[in-house]
């Protein structure tokens, strides 16, 4: 067991983080907004944690206190939330593909800024971010509660007034407006909640990865998390959770397959480096064959019916 955890601990924590980032993309999608801004807020949260822990708090001896990590997470969440409102208000005037493009631009702006600012360490980034734990797997002490709390909140959200307003806006904005739901208000709210979540996850990730640079939270990451949400399912929060886990693990699985002996060299290389191509193909196939994703609310209903009949 210990051997397994030390080999796969890193991957397991990454999968939980992937699930959380999937959810941060799912939140704006609840109101029908295709936003790819999550990786930008993720990067921002990571830089906030990296800068605070290496330059402000400076704990030199022993393990870094978890309390400070939690404080960094809160600060990252607040800053991401404020930026989320500021970006959300103008960006959410756009719809569909135009919003997607605008949010990609936002992620790029943050990336270029972090490459060129001194405080973010330029192209080198920030390294030697202090560790609150001895082994990677222990990050689950933060990641799992965060995922559970987020899932419980989303479960509740999908069942209260606010969630109904989100769904109504996704289905028919004009009808929602005619019913007295203010679409702009709720769209900005959903976008901001997604931003906060991504920022908080970024703060944890910075410690987890030990270094933080402009390669974190790029356009590539947007596509990966978009895949996990689209394939996982866009109608219930369970979809992005499963999708986020599966698609974080997928590159590792592909790498393992590539290592099997006897594969032609080109295929092995494609499995290792063709990740984005594979994800792209999956998005296309997924939207054709599973337009609502693999996990749909009907799936649960069917399960329930089956149980009640037997």
Partner 1 sequence: MNPPIPLLEIRELYVNYGGIQALQNINLTVNAGEVVTLIGANGAGKSTTLRAISRLINPRSGQIVYQGRDITRRPPHEVVRLGIAHSPEGRRVLARQTVLDNLELGAYTRSNSAEVKADLDRQFEIFPRLAERRLQLAGTLSGGEQQMLALARALMSRPKLLLLDEPSLGLAPAIVREIFSIIRDLRATGVTILLVEQNAKLALESGDRGYVLEAGRITLTGQAANLLNDDQVRKAYLG
Give min distance, CB of 170 to partner 1, in A.
9
**Hey, what are 116's tokens?**
């060129």
Distance, CA of 48 to chain centre: 17
161 binds partner 1 (CB under 8 A): yes
Give min distance, CB of 184 to partner 1, in A.
9
Residue among 46 and 239 whose Cβ is closer to partner 1: 239
160 binds partner 1 (CB under 8 A): no
174 binds partner 1 (CB under 8 A): yes
Among 72-80, 162-170, 248-256, 281-289, the segment contacting partner 1 (CB under 8 A): 162-170
The closest alpha carbon to 219, from 99, 50, 97, 105, belongs to 105
Instruction: Centre a 10 Å sphere on the Cβ of residue 288 and count the other Cβ atoms it contains.
Output: 8
Which residues ranging from 198 to 237 are in contact with partner 1 (CB under 8 A)? Answer: none
Give min distance, CB of 35 to partner 1, in A.
21
Give min distance, CB of 11 to partner 1, in A.
36
Query: What secondary structure does DSSP assign to 3-42, as a single string?
Result: HHHHHHHHHHHHHHHHHHHHHHHHHHHHTT-----HHHHH
Give min distance, CB of 161 to partner 1, in A.
7
**Hey, what are 197's tokens?**
């979540």
Q: Which of 172, 220, 259, 273 touches partner 1 by CB under 8 A?
A: 172
Q: Which of 164, 215, 255, 272 touches partner 1 by CB under 8 A?
A: 164
The closest alpha carbon to 131, from 64, 54, 73, belongs to 64
For 40-78, b where at least 16 C-beta lie within 10 A, e where not — what string? bbbbbbbbbbbbbbbeeeeeeeeebeeebbebbbebbbe
Q: Which of 85, 140, 153, 177 touches partner 1 by CB under 8 A?
A: 177
Please check whether residue 240 is in contact with residue 228, taking contact to mean a CB–CB distance below 8 angstroms.
yes
Q: Which of 146, 168, 203, 223 touches partner 1 by CB under 8 A?
A: 168
Please check whether residue 210 is in contact with residue 127, taking contact to mean a CB–CB distance below 8 angstroms.
yes
165 binds partner 1 (CB under 8 A): yes
Among 114-122, 128-136, 177-185, 205-213, the segment contacting partner 1 (CB under 8 A): 177-185
Residue among 59 and 175 whose Cβ is closer to partner 1: 175
Residues that bind partner 1 (CB under 8 A): 161, 164-165, 167-168, 171-172, 174-182
């Amino acid at each position: 067991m210990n051997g397994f955890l030390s080999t796969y601990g890193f991957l397991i924590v990454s999968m939980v983080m992937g699930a959380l980032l999937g959810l941060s993309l799912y939140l704006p999608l609840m109101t029908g907004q295709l936003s790819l801004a999550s990786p930008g807020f993720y990067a921002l949260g990571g830089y906030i944690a990296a800068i605070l822990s290496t330059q402000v708090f400076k704990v030199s001896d022993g393990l870094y206190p978890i309390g400070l990590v939690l404080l960094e997470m809160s600060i990252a969440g607040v800053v991401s939330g404020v930026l989320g409102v500021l970006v959300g208000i103008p960006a959410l005037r756009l719809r569909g593909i135009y919003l997607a493009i605008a949010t990609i631009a936002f992620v790029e702006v943050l990336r270029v800024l972090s490459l060129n600012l001194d405080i973010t360490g330029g192209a080198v980034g920030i390294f030697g971010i202090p560790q609150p734990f001895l082994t990677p797997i222990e990050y689950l002490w933060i990641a799992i509660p965060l995922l559970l709390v987020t899932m419980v909140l989303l479960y509740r959200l999908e069942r209260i007034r606010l969630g109904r307003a989100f769904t109504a806006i996704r289905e028919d904005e004009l009808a929602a407006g005619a019913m007295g739901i203010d679409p702009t208000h709720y769209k900005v709210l959903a976008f901001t909640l997604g931003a906060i979540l991504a920022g908080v996850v970024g703060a944890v990730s910075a410690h987890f990865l030990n270094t933080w640079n402009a390669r974190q939270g790029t356009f590539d990451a947007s596509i990966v998390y978009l895949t996990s949400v689209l394939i996982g399912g866009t109608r219930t929060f369970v979809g992005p959770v499963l999708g986020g886990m599966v698609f974080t693990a997928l590159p590792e699985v592909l790498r393992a397959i590539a290592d099997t002996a006897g594969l032609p060299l080109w295929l092995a290389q494609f499995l290792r480096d063709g990740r984005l191509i594979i994800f792209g193909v999956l998005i296309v196939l997924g939207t054709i064959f599973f337009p609502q994703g693999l996990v749909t609310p009907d799936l649960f209903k069917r399960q329930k019916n089956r149980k009640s009949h037997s």
